[in-house]
Amino acid sequence: MSPFWKIFIAIFSYISAIVGLGLAVVNASEKPPATSLAMIYGAAGLLFLAVGVLLSRRARY
């Protein structure tokens, strides 16, 4: 994969992680809490965060 696409997907993943974790917090803090949606958004946010971290690491040779 070219470096351009790796950085593009990494930035997209970081933004998606922030949105997912933000939605998880908002859904968990509602009255009554939407726990299932909060868990789904939180898991998706953590997954996107992991993808962003893995794609933005320096290559080991």
Q: What predicted TM-score, i.e. pTM, was given to this entire model?
A: 0.83
Spatial CA neighbour of 46 closest among 18, 25, 27: 18
How many of the other CB atoms lie within 10 Å of CB of 51? 17
What digits encode the pLDDT tens for the residues 1-55? 788 889 999 999 999 999 999 999 998 888 887 888 889 999 999 999 999 999 8
Record the tokens describing residue 29, joined without a space. 């803090």
* Helix residue spans in 1-61 (DSSP H): 3-28, 35-56
pLDDT on residue 50: 94
